[in-house]
Structure 1
Amino acid sequence: MDQRPTKRITDEMEQTLVELHHTFEEKLWTPYHSHDFHQLVIGLTKNELSEIRKLYDITSVSQLNKTKLAEVLVNEIPARIPDKLSTLTNEVYALLLRVVKADGFYPAGNSSSLMVSVLRDLGMVFPAIKDDKRILIMPHEVLTVISNEQSKELKRTIKRNTEWVEVVKGTVNMQGALYAPEQYEHLENVMKEPFTGKIKEVLHLVGLYDLNLEQGMFSWLHPGVESELDIREAQMERSDIDFYPFTKEQLKLAANPRYVEKTPAVKQLSEFFRILYEMKKEELDETLNMIVRMMRADIKFQFIMDELGDSIELPDGEELTILIDLMMELHNTTRKWILKGHSPVGLREGYHQQKGRKGKVLNFKDYRK
């Protein structure tokens, strides 16, 4: 993990991703032509129909031509929707209900294209463009089923699914990967229920549209993990260290990809940036998030400083010395993936979070950039 991509390579990769995203958007949002279920399904490609088949686990139909496969899906999907609804999260279910309330013709607005793509692959919602506006179409057969499936039990299940996703995302944000039996056991303890195949199905669906949760060959991963095998090997080499036992509340907070623990080191560095650079909150949060994200991944300190230097003009003299001291303090107190969610200082001082840890207090008030 020592070799880092150069800025040129990184810029080229970003440009490629932008172009791929543009192509994806063009293929997803097609001109409106019908509200009829069969017409909407037959309008998809054979590969898109195959994705629907896979998500519903409809077997013995892969050899059918496109027309026959579309007929099978139109007949099968409505009966299979109730079970699939029980694998959704609050965000997705809420969007479906808004489309239902709009009688199957809903303005897409800022709806995530990736999420819409998954709902299309479930045959529930079909994206289109009409009068230069993005809309979501739900055929009558689907609308009727979803309207009749709004039970309290379903809503409890979806709420449960959402909480499971949060604790898993929090786990990979703080530990890099979720693969070890002790990690699953801990999550079962905090959730007070087993990690079932149904939960895995929920996570699989979320991973299709949520870029902050990736499914590797053996693990659930943070998208910043470059190699699934490397992160597992690095953690397994530290067999004398247990995975940090985060509480449910901690994991739910950490589910936010921009989550940064408000440790004394974070607060001091934040104050330094605020005073020296007169940073506004949005810029300050972005800068801290970038730094902490790289520190969790155990990226070399010099590379982090170089990246910081690309974002802001680094100071010199005494101010640079203070900045380096603050960055080193943050580096030593940030939870690292290779340390299974512990910080270097935390390991030295025990497995429990420090309360009121006092560091060197620095006075920044005389400095301005």
Structure 2
Amino acid sequence: MKFKQLTELGSSSGAGPGARHDAFVHDVPESRTVPKAGLIGHIDPQGAGLFHHEYLMQNGSYTLPPSGCANLTQGRIVGTRTFLWQDSFSNDTLYVNDQEKKNHITCLANSGSDSWLNEDTGISQNTENDDSYDIDFGKKERKSISGQVAFIGSHEFSNWGSFLFRVLPKMAVLKRLFLDDVNVMANIHYQNYRLLLNIAGVRDDKIIHHDRTAIYSVEDLMVPTLPSPHVFFPPEVVGFYNQISRSVTTRKPFRKLYISRMSEAARNYRTLLNEGELAGRLEAVGFEIVNPAELPIREQIRIFAEAAVVVGPSGSGMFNVVFCQPGTLVFDIESARDWIYAHTNMFSSLGHSFAIIEGLSDRNDPRPTHKNWSVDVEAAMTLIRSHL
């Protein structure tokens, strides 16, 4: 089937006849430029060369997109986060510029057999018309849902960090628009996803599991947009996280946490080879060694909300700093360049003071990405102690 790209969910018109959606309600109608601050330190004792803070801090500012919720009558959901309406398609993002939008659709439509890059949509560029796209539904199961449903799912559905920064902020949008009592659909890959939605105010009977391999036709589809692309949270989303934290604990921050990835060592997946040494040194000066994945969700929220200092190698566990109170001191230990930009966005937008500690990938590890790595423990401890 052939489809046109909808200009975007929040636009007044689409790419051609029939591309206008039924309605769009903004909770934040305009782009906003906000300060990006909070970096208090950076060390690269092993010469990894990952972090260039002049670029990553973007001259001290960041442009947030508008946000809101679209209403699509007889809308369809395909793949992880793509929506079909009449003869058009779009996703959950309001882009701040045309280049971002073009980059995404180019990646989606020219991904070949890579279902990850294609986001399981079956979308490809039409070879006869540059303004048209083909969608191959293949043998996808067709499902119909009556009534009103808000879709809050996202790409990278199996990643806890992704759920925290892509899915949960959409609930903040729904709440601000007084739409938080509708049925919501998301990929409930782990039980903690469901439990976190419960804490955020969504009852079990309101949650519908999303199967990305199926095509859903929804009578009244609500599509809240992603308010935090590049993991820079607007103030209203930060307030939503803080509200969740306060529902679990109101104690003042006092904990010093080390967020461990030692459970990943058994999988030989981006293993911090000398993590035991680092954890031991930190424990000796009063840090708790925490593996969030082993804790019930309310306990995860509680210990992060009570944290005054958080140290840890980058990964899903460190995304729990969304539950820390603004002003928390964060030491982020990085092993690769790819996500430092997003991590600094997150720490800054949450109001945390943060430092970047670069580690060094194992040059003997043959894998192109997610290599095992190490950190200069003495240099890391010197930086951390200087701020305690």
Q: What is the TM-score normalised by the length of structure 1?
A: 0.28
Could you say which structure has the larger radius of gyration?
1
Q: What is the TM-score normalised by the length of structure 2?
A: 0.27
Larger RCO: 1 or 2 (CA < 8 Å, sep 6+): 2
Please identify which structure carries the higher helix content. 1
Please identify which structure carries the higher strand content. 2
